[in-house]
Chain A
Amino acid sequence: MINTTCREVHNLLELFFDSELEPRQMRAVALHSATCPSCEEELRQLERLQDLVSRSVNERVDEVELGQIWSGIEHRLRPRRTPWTQRARDWMSERELGWAWPAFGAMAAAAAAAVIAFSFSQSPTVKSIETALVDNPVSVHEISSDSHVALLGEADTLLLWVDHELAGDATNTAEPVNFEEFE
């Protein structure tokens, strides 16, 4: 490529300027441009054009408020908060406990049902449960029972509700009465 013509080099100047030619072509273009004022001038114009574009782009970039851009895209980059149920599943899956998820769900449902059932079992017909009233003309000092008991105070009345479903002595674990304590 020693005898490279201006026409051939002219077609390669942009690639030469961007260093995208093979070493052999780079060397040939460089030798030609050093001795060819036209091609050298072409290279200088490319260099000025590059400087102009670069300066313009940099000035434009400096005018941009990057903070606003970040705030606009930050929420899209933040990890999405998954529901606790999904996180629990993920936690158990990581520990190979995925099989237990239905069991935990059943246990939670059973516990909730038990709480509701217990609340109603106190007495579905008693209006509300309160503690013993100190100023009530009737007061309870001590209660001993194996059953669920609840106190309901109202004006001059105190109710001690005993939730005792006895289907036989098998469920009553209380000791027989010690009548000596009544003396």
Chain B
Amino acid sequence: MSLRAVTGCAVLAAVACAVPELSEAGEMVALRVNCVLASNSGQEFDQRLGELKPRLNRLFRYTSYNLVKEKREKVTVGGKLMFEVPGGRYLIVLPKQFSNDGSVQMKVVLLENGRPIVNTDISLKKSATFMVGGPQHNDGALILAIAADDVVDEPNVPAAAAPPAAQPAAVAPK
């Protein structure tokens, strides 16, 4: 096992221990994270990116977009979503609370080799997308798109019903 893998596992274990159990309110948010590799080699646009296509086209000038990974997960407020990003990186999304305007406040942390590249607090409304881009990978840049597909208010959700803290993310075929 490489040092990078060991570090990643240590970070995951630390997060799993540090983050509390489900919040008492049991409010949940359905999060979706897409990891896109954008580059200027080729002219391919991965059809699986779907509704992200117009957003990517408006924001970037890359010629090629490929979906590397995708993860959908309902996360309880106070919980977390762990997302492994190529290159020894991890994206951690932690919903903190809902706001009166319907948005959910979240902390988004991007780690590389156990150290944060960026640590930010955001508010995200339904149908909106927050992107973190820039990490280099292969011949392109990684773009992480975070969206709250749906906000679910499920009071008194038992802790046992919550999804596991970290699920292995399915790696999309390139």
Contacts and interface: CB of A to CB of B under 8 A. Distances in A.
Given A140-B120, A180-B18, A169 B129 contact: no
Interface residues of A, number: 42
Contacts of B105: 141
B118 interface: yes
B18 A172 contact: no
Contacts of B135: 162, 164
Interface in B11-63: 11, 14-15, 17-20, 38, 40, 55, 58-62
Interface in B103-144: 103, 105, 107, 109-136, 141
B11 A177 contact: yes
A166 B19 contact: no
Interface in A63-122: none
A125 B38 contact: yes
Contact of B115 (A155, A160, A174): A174
A145 B117 contact: yes
A130 to B, nearest CB: 11
B107 to A, nearest CB: 7
Contacts of B80: 182
Contacts of A143: 118-120
B94 interface: yes
A63 to B, nearest CB: 76
A127 interface: yes
A123 B140 CA distance: 11
Q: How large is the interface on B (under 10, 10 to 19, 20 to 34, 35 or more residues)?
A: 35 or more
A157 B134 contact: no
B60 A177 contact: no
B131 A157 contact: yes
Nearest to B39: A125
B123 A172 contact: no
Contacts of B129: 138, 156-158
Interface string A142-153: 111111010010
B88 to A, nearest CB: 9
A6 to B, nearest CB: 110
A22 interface: no
B1 to A, nearest CB: 18
24 contacts: A125-B61, A126-B59, A138-B122, A142-B121, A144-B120, A145-B119, A145-B120, A146-B117, A156-B129, A158-B131, A159-B133, A160-B118, A160-B120, A160-B133, A164-B117, A172-B112, A174-B115, A176-B115, A177-B15, A177-B111, A177-B115, A180-B18, A182-B18, A182-B19
Given A138-B129, A172-B115, 13 more contacts: A125-B38, A126-B59, A126-B61, A138-B128, A141-B123, A145-B119, A145-B120, A156-B129, A162-B117, A164-B118, A172-B112, A177-B14, A182-B92
- Closest 10 pairs between A and B when the two form their complex, measured CB to CB: A179-B18, A137-B128, A137-B125, A162-B134, A145-B118, A138-B128, A144-B119, A141-B121, A159-B131, A142-B121
